[in-house]
Structure 1
């Protein structure tokens, strides 16, 4: 599996790693640069987040928030388009990878680790999007034959999985089968083989093994009941049935002993059927409990909270990429192109921190260009603005974000009361 863009270090750790390579007299200045860069990234993501959260409020209104007017069907359709577009973009910026349909189908076909059989009912689902981040191989010891046998299973696990599901608008909607609206959730530590458990319309079904465990004892005990308790009353019931349908003309004499035998047989049959039904029901309840426990302990966020998580992750990813791009360009011993810079960063993390990832050099270069901190010649050789000047330019960008005209200044009219 190809390496991901995600760098499994916090922003503060990346800042510390870069600062640790600098001379002591440059470290404080570099840390100030990093703080300015992070503040600007947070501001940009905050402005963007306000727009997408406003749109999400229309498609999935919060119960404790009032509105001044009711959204129309057109409003909901437009808002949903904004939500889906921003979700895809933010997921990519936060280093999530879209899980394609063939990968999901493969996961459904493979043996799961939950020891339950799940089926997805997708008739009410209009749009499904899964995203993953942090893929790693795992092993787990699985017990079978009541713990007498153990085997080691190898599987792929995702550190985080993002799920977006939009439901079809239906006039006959019920509370159990939702209509319209969207569902947005984030989970952690999800085995690839268990992706189906993240669907809201998943249903627990009995596995073949469970059917055997219930069915075989049921048949054996049924034969025992038939031989010991129903045999005496079975003949009487056959005679009564034959008389009622007209096959037998001679009436059946029902004395006290016959009635006791008949009711005893019927009671034994009813008790036997109830026990088998209870076993089936208890087995299914156990499976549902297993599913709910998996979802409860893996759930990281729901609804608008997922967007808050994505916005923070996207801002942090932008800062890490930009900071690494600037640091390695500024400290390079020889001129670097984009491809060379990409290779230097990846090799540095692999050599010093045993970390493999696909550095998104284009994202870092794009941000440096926007902030006017990058130099580039006609041959594609890159360079970074000196640290003092870079801080000055960041400070100017920050001031311009909140630039307010001063009344009385040149070209700015004064307001009289």
Structure 2
């Protein structure tokens, strides 16, 4: 394959099972539910009223969370353009841990899944679809967190060695990836661009698991053995030609001169102007050859970096404070969607039902009607409805109570 990532010739996608994320917009999901016509006119009005209650409750809750999260991140934000309050928080471990815990809670509510250290190490060992070798030094960070959402198994047929060979690559692709990093203090080894103690948060899209290395800010491009061979073999062959054609006579002359100086033979050697020109021309040709090979190596690495930069340009969605606001919005949407779905099917059943049976009905509806296989969080959804007074549980059976007054909605 060329230094730039070639377009796959064949691709297939299979969504992974067991994912909590509902892959539909909030407004579209409401249209999908209402189109089922599973409620009579009175129930439909009650459902609409309950939808308004759910949206108001989560809007108020996440408005408060938004300010708390911004305050928690303020002194750690590398993009901050405001002055620090002298009595404010520090850049220490306690502040970072508080931010991390808040972010983890928020990402969980937005249906993101954590990538464990084992998964990350496996991804680092995998062969990159980008067809370059990437290296990162994890010592630059003392706190790393990776969360993903919308994973699917994919198969791509990619060309290798200028299309002469084709390889089928199996990998997991993440629709969204959130990266949380805290820069470490490495003393004299600290990069000037990394302020120790600062926290960087990035949001990416469409990331293969084998290419997670490219998301880190200290990624370095390294030459693969195949690339070194592509440069090294022709360079060695041409080097032999240069040595025999351009350096043969100068080396013989220098060898003879050296032998006379060392007393290996008594016949004097005259080094005239013509000989000096011949030696200078030979070593000049060697220098030009070595410079050409070094330029070829450097230019190939530069093409790798350009391809990496271009790929990241389309994958990066947001930075730092902007990521927090996006995730807050995602979490609010996820909480609302789960409550909408649970309430609708609880009302449509029009009877008391166990949480397990209701979970089966909902997951079957998503699979059969919308080809979306997911692991619906029925326990969490029912608890939300219960706190809002929209559902009750008695002896393990649940039923909807959407007409219960809820002017003073319970705190979530």
TM more than 0.5: yes
Please, which of 90, 98, 101 is the counterpart of residue 114 of structure 2? 98
How far did residue 72 of structure 1 move? 5.9
Please, which of 242, 247, 252 is the counterpart of residue 225 of structure 1? 242
Matched, 1:14 2:29: yes
Deviations 1:90-148 (A, max 9, x none): 11111111011111111112211001011121122212111111111223231123123
Decide which moves more: 108-117 or 17-26: 17-26
Decide which moves more: 39-48 or 296-305: 39-48
SS at match of 1:15: helix
Give the unaligned 5+ runs of structure 2.
Answer: 1-15
Matched, 1:134 2:150: yes
- Cα distance in 2 for residues equivalent to 1:246 and 1:79: 77
SS at match of 1:185: strand
Contact 1:170 1:180 in 2 (8 A): no
- Cα distance in 2 for residues equivalent to 1:249 and 1:302: 77
User: How has the CA–CA distance of structure 1 residues 380 and 291 changed in structure 2, closer, same or farther, with 3 Å as cutoff?
Assistant: same
Q: Which has the higher contact order (CA 8 A, sep 6+)?
A: 2
- Cα distance in 1 for residues equivalent to 2:375 and 2:147: 17
Deviations 1:277-303 (A, max 9, x none): 001001110111121112111011110
Please, which of 282, 289, 294 is the counterpart of residue 311 of structure 2? 294
How far did residue 397 of structure 1 move? 3.0
SS at match of 2:159: strand
Deviations 1:50-74 (A, max 9, x none): 111111111124342233327564x
How far did residue 250 of structure 1 move? 6.6
- Cα distance in 2 for residues equivalent to 1:228 and 1:278: 22
Deviations 1:202-240 (A, max 9, x none): 211110000000000000000110111110111123345
Deviations 1:339-378 (A, max 9, x none): 111111111111221211000112212211221222111x
Deviations 1:230-271 (A, max 9, x none): 101111233455567776777642211101101100110110
Contact 2:78 2:199 in 1 (8 A): no
SS at match of 1:253: coil
* Counterpart for residue 169 of structure 2: 153
User: How has the CA–CA distance of structure 1 residues 241 and 323 changed in structure 2, closer, same or farther, with 3 Å as cutoff?
Assistant: farther
SS at match of 1:129: strand
* Counterpart for residue 12 of structure 2: none
Matched, 1:54 2:74: no
Decide which moves more: 77-86 or 163-172: 163-172
Contact 2:115 2:148 in 1 (8 A): yes
Contact 1:52 1:82 in 2 (8 A): no
SS at match of 2:138: coil
* Counterpart for residue 83 of structure 1: 99
- Cα distance in 1 for residues equivalent to 2:254 and 2:213: 49
- Cα distance in 1 for residues equivalent to 2:268 and 2:141: 61
User: How has the CA–CA distance of structure 1 residues 204 and 98 changed in structure 2, closer, same or farther, with 3 Å as cutoff?
Assistant: same
User: How has the CA–CA distance of structure 1 residues 127 and 68 changed in structure 2, closer, same or farther, with 3 Å as cutoff?
Assistant: closer
Deviations 1:24-60 (A, max 9, x none): 5654553343233213212201201211111111112
* Counterpart for residue 214 of structure 1: 231
- Cα distance in 2 for residues equivalent to 1:253 and 1:152: 66
- Cα distance in 1 for residues equivalent to 2:196 and 2:170: 39
User: How has the CA–CA distance of structure 1 residues 324 and 244 changed in structure 2, closer, same or farther, with 3 Å as cutoff?
Assistant: farther
> What is the 5 A alignment of 1:270-289?
270-289=287-306
How far did residue 321 of structure 1 move? 0.8
- Cα distance in 2 for residues equivalent to 1:101 and 1:17: 38
User: How has the CA–CA distance of structure 1 residues 226 and 199 changed in structure 2, closer, same or farther, with 3 Å as cutoff?
Assistant: same
* Counterpart for residue 13 of structure 2: none
SS at match of 2:349: coil
- Cα distance in 2 for residues equivalent to 1:188 and 1:127: 22
TM-score, normalised to structure 1, is 0.88
* Counterpart for residue 397 of structure 1: 409
* Counterpart for residue 108 of structure 1: 124
User: How has the CA–CA distance of structure 1 residues 32 and 228 changed in structure 2, closer, same or farther, with 3 Å as cutoff?
Assistant: same
Contact 2:135 2:219 in 1 (8 A): yes
* Counterpart for residue 165 of structure 1: 181
- Cα distance in 2 for residues equivalent to 1:86 and 1:244: 79
- Cα distance in 2 for residues equivalent to 1:246 and 1:69: 80
